[in-house]
Structure 1
């Protein structure tokens, strides 16, 4: 995760990582390759097959359905036959929780749903690197939780390297490593090598009445495990963002 003030160079750095901007100096190596040695005309194909992009403003094609938006990178890549593309597109939409919204246009989807489509599209060609520029910047707190949980799943289960730029310090608890960029230079870093402890009081404030009733039925297990036990029992229903101690 990359954090820092506006104008500090975060988005520019992400564009360099994504080969959208040539660095003015130094060297950029991606997947063992010196990117300065790759001709300009080969970069689009490199990006298409090795790098996924997710933006704050979604950048979905307005006239195409969720299904068509996700399928497009596979069409451009040309590696899969039509049936294979359709099967993979349906699977990706199902994985991001939009299996029943495949035929909807972006204008018919909420902000959180549009961002999930954008993530599915970014994963279409199974990239090695996923670059995320303020992916939750325009989302509500609830949608932010869902998107961050989804990205965490992508990172862990798909073993996809994720580099994310954000202004939201609450999201730091999702990252293995946080780099702070100021005036074009990294000023410091922080490693999240251990799971943070949870504040049970703060945690309880985010429970719905339905979740509280469910917890009552498992009261003994919760007492044994404390807040950590609560998280284990109900992981997937709650957002770690809201309960990470500072």
Structure 2
């Protein structure tokens, strides 16, 4: 019996096996790809929405603190303007006005976006964690808001100077720009990964599998004959 008589049925059987294996493998890859792309799409939309909202919120805080402070200072005699102060409860009222407006901060979106990044995209989470928690701390510190796990802050008779208010407004404007930059950075990162998923550089097809098989067959018979 010649070698070709052995190879023909072997190739036929293996060809059927490879075709079935390739179809099953492609189906698994397709399902995995659908899950990954859907996950990136959902997370990118959430990150975009939450950071856009946070940027609008910090911008609104900057605007109201700046304007209200200017009005209060200008209501005083020029000789007294450098010593103008405002009660913390009064400042809280300004913040409450933003919290009850269309600029209200969606904390739930921020929490979900942070969780998604931390769980699925560690490198992007590092960028997020360097800025977003910082902005929260700065807002809480200026308005003297007690945060969970921290010592209770006594706000009774506490005040802020006009300079402190102006500095806070300037900081919030800077943070608004930084949040917009962060949003663009994270969306670009996720888009790049999304593009890689839907346009892989190299895909394994039936021909490549069959070619590998022929190499194995030739090697096998060379070793024995």
TM-score w.r.t. structure 2 length? 0.20
Structure number with higher helix proportion:
2
Higher relative contact order (CA closer than 8 Å, sequence separation 6+): 2
Which protein has the larger Cα radius of gyration, Structure 1 or Structure 2? Answer: 2
More strand by share: 1
